Structure 1
Amino acid sequence: MNYELFVGIDISKLTIDAVSFTEEKIEEAVHRVFKNSYDGFGEMLEWLTAYNVPLEKALFCCEHTGIYINPITGFMDANNLSLWVENGLHIKRSIGIRRGKSDKADALAIAHYAYSNQYKARLYNFPSSTTSRLKHLLSHREQLLRHQTSLKCTCSELRGFGTENAAYCITDSEEMLAIYAERIKKVDMELSSVIQNDQELNNQFQLVQSVHGIGKQTAFFILIHTEAFSAFSDYRKFASYFGIAPFPYSSGTSVRGRNRVSSLANKKLKSLLTMCALNTIKKDNEFKRYYDRKKAEGKSSLCVLNVIKNKLLSRAFATIKRGTPYLAEMIA
């Protein structure tokens, strides 16, 4: 679509800063502040009517700021407007050298980014209520796990070095750990219930779990971060997203480094898939034999494990594409 009006939006908890300009008058950008609410967004649309440009020809762009974008994404979806939610790092690296920082300057930079990159704009698809519930549940589960792990470490240290004087603290910590374990179990049950109540999502969940080595928690994360396999067209793009796709490292004739994975990654999902890969090589199967063969050829363990992660991911995407479970080879 050929857009005529560009609106950069910098979102904070209570307010949004909007900067707008038309394609013909890029240098005449206008700035306004509105409330981060449906009423504020309505006022923003009234403000934009002064340009005499149909809102269908307007491209709204903002950074992904977590839950603070929920009101505006819901509003834009309800009004069928074009909203581009971009990764903040993309915008930051496109700005170049800049001194100082303000919400107004950030909104202007976002608007210029939208104008300059409009040809590759990816309009935001409002997630289903099921996907949103799963995201919140998984986030809550991760928070409980962090607290549980922290308490376990503290309790372990007290047992080893301060048992006599910290008896009460140890007992209280053990009781709290039991509560955390019960809460995590309840969250797991709720996650399973949400999945089972959505037939299509449950089918995808079962297909992904059919891949040898991929467990329930990894399947949850894959479903959510692929938005039920609608956000990524193939597994290679998803592999790049969470940091297991190798990229070249070379320049001219002097720099000839090895291919390496990027540190820009979803570290949580990467760690989960690493555990999956480690589990697959514990018993005799195609992955174990591949691992042993490559190790015998002199490959490093991490390199081979990274290949196995890619293999697991490609099989998960293949099961969804075919609509049939993964069939592991039969060993005589």
Structure 2
Amino acid sequence: MNYELFVGIDISKSTIDVAVVTQACFDKPLHHVFKNSYDGFGLMLEWLSIHGIALKKVLFCCEHTGIYICPITNFMHANDLSIWVENGLHIKRSIGLKRGKSDKADAQAIASYAFSNQHKARPYLLPSATSSKLKHLLAHREQLVRHQTSFKCTCSALKGFDRENAGYCIADSQEMLALYAERIKKVDIELAALITEDQELNEQFSLVQSVHGIGKQTAMFILIHTEAFAAFSDYRKFASYCGIAPFPHSSGTSIRGRNRVSNLANKKLKALLTMCALNTIKKDNEFKRYYDRKKAEGKNAMCVLNVIKNKLLSRAFAAVKRGTPYLLEPAA
């Protein structure tokens, strides 16, 4: 699409800094600050109307700032406008050398990025209400589990080393552990009910879990981060997102390193897939036999596990694409 106006939006909790560049005045961007609310966005559109350019010809761009982008993405969706939500690291590394920092400068950098990379623009797809609810519930569950683990470790240490003087703390910690266990159970019930209500999501959830080694939590995270398998066209791209896809490390004739995975990844998904891979090699099955065979050939254990992680993802994507459960090869 041929855009005529490029709008960079730097989002904070209360306000948005908006910078505008055009083909004619690229070196002199306009700037204004609005509230991070529907009223503020409406005023922004009025301000942009002075250019006399149809909003369909405007490329809006912002960094992904977590929950702070929800108001503007919902506003754009409601008004049938598209916005490009880009990874902040892409924008940061495109700027080059930079001295100092301000919201105005960040907005101008985003507008310049949109102008220079307009051919790469990807309109943001608003996640479904079910996906958003799942994401928030899983994040809440993770927070509860972290607090529960903290109390468990503290209680265990007190019992082992100073039980006599820490009686009250131990008793109170045990009450908190029981409370956290109850809360986590309620969240699990809510998650299960939410997935059951959505027929398509429920089918995908069952298909992903049919892959040996992938449990409920991992299946939920896969569904959320693939946006119900709509955000990634194949498992290789998702494997790269998860940080389990190997990339070459070589240059000229002097650097000939081994292929390695990138540190730019979703660490939570990577950790979950690692646990899944470890679970697959506990009993005799195709993954266990593959692991033992490669280990006997002298392969590094972690490299073999990484291959198994990729196999798990490829089978999950294949099962959803075919619409049939994955069948594990029988033991020899």
The two structures share one fold, judged by TM-score above 0.5:
yes
Q: Write out per-residue CA displacement over residues 11-39 of structure 1, whole angstroms, 9 at most, x where no aligned residue.
A: 00000000002122212210000000000
Distance in structure 2 (CA, Å) of the matches to 1:215 and 1:204: 13
Distance in structure 2 (CA, Å) of the matches to 1:113 and 1:162: 58
Indicate conservation of the 8 Å contact 2:281/2:288, yes or no: yes
Residue 4 (structure 2) pairs with residue 4 (structure 1): yes
Q: CA deviation at 1:258?
A: 0.5
Q: Write out per-residue CA displacement over residues 173-229 of structure 1, whole angstroms, 9 at most, x where no aligned residue.
A: 011001101101110110010000000000000000000110000000000000000
Query: Which AA in structure 1 matches 2:202?
Result: N
Q: CA deviation at 1:152?
A: 1.0
Distance in structure 1 (CA, Å) of the matches to 2:198 and 2:24: 48
Distance in structure 2 (CA, Å) of the matches to 1:252 and 1:293: 34
* TM-score (structure 1 length as normaliser): 0.99
Q: Write out per-residue CA displacement over residues 239-291 of structure 1, whole angstroms, 9 at most, x where no aligned residue.
A: 00010000011111111110000111111111111111001011111100000
List aligned pairs for 1:221-300, cutoff 5 A.
Answer: 221-300=221-300
Q: CA deviation at 1:164?
A: 0.8
Q: Write out per-residue CA displacement over residues 43-102 of structure 1, whole angstroms, 9 at most, x where no aligned residue.
A: 000000011110000010001111111100000001111200011111111111100000
- The SS at the match of 1:34 is strand
Query: Which AA in structure 1 matches 2:133?
Result: R
Query: Which AA in structure 1 matches 2:264?
Result: L
Query: Which AA in structure 1 matches 2:180?
Result: Y
- The SS at the match of 1:176 is helix
Give 2:305's aligned residue.
305
Give 2:193's aligned residue.
193
Distance in structure 2 (CA, Å) of the matches to 1:62 and 1:21: 14
The number of equivalent residue pairs is 332
Give 1:54's aligned residue.
54
Give 1:172's aligned residue.
172
List aligned pairs for 1:1-332, cutoff 5 A.
Answer: 1-331=1-331
Distance in structure 1 (CA, Å) of the matches to 2:97 and 2:326: 50
Distance in structure 2 (CA, Å) of the matches to 1:330 and 1:27: 66
Q: CA deviation at 1:331?
A: 3.1
After superposition, the CA RMSD in angstroms is 0.7
- The SS at the match of 1:183 is helix
- The SS at the match of 1:127 is coil
Structure 2: 5+ residue runs without aligned partners? Answer: none
Distance in structure 1 (CA, Å) of the matches to 2:279 and 2:254: 40
- The SS at the match of 1:27 is coil
Query: Which AA in structure 2 matches 1:320?
Result: V
Indicate conservation of the 8 Å contact 2:286/2:331, yes or no: no
- The SS at the match of 1:228 is coil
Query: Which AA in structure 2 matches 1:284?
Result: D
- The SS at the match of 1:19 is strand
- Name segments (4+ residues, structure 1) moved above 4 Å: none
Q: CA deviation at 1:316?
A: 0.1
Indicate conservation of the 8 Å contact 2:7/2:18, yes or no: yes
Query: Which AA in structure 2 matches 1:81?
Result: L
Distance in structure 1 (CA, Å) of the matches to 2:196 and 2:58: 39
* TM-score (structure 2 length as normaliser): 0.99
Distance in structure 2 (CA, Å) of the matches to 1:158 and 1:63: 45
Q: Write out per-residue CA displacement over residues 109-166 of structure 1, whole angstroms, 9 at most, x where no aligned residue.
A: 0001111111111110111110010010001001101111111111111111111111
Between the two proteins, what is the percent identity of the paired residues?
78
Q: CA deviation at 1:9?
A: 0.3
Indicate conservation of the 8 Å contact 2:21/2:112, yes or no: no
Q: CA deviation at 1:330?
A: 2.5
Query: Which AA in structure 1 matches 2:186?
Result: K
Distance in structure 2 (CA, Å) of the matches to 1:156 and 1:247: 42
Distance in structure 1 (CA, Å) of the matches to 2:65 and 2:128: 19
Distance in structure 1 (CA, Å) of the matches to 2:51 and 2:22: 8
Structure 1: 5+ residue runs without aligned partners? Answer: none
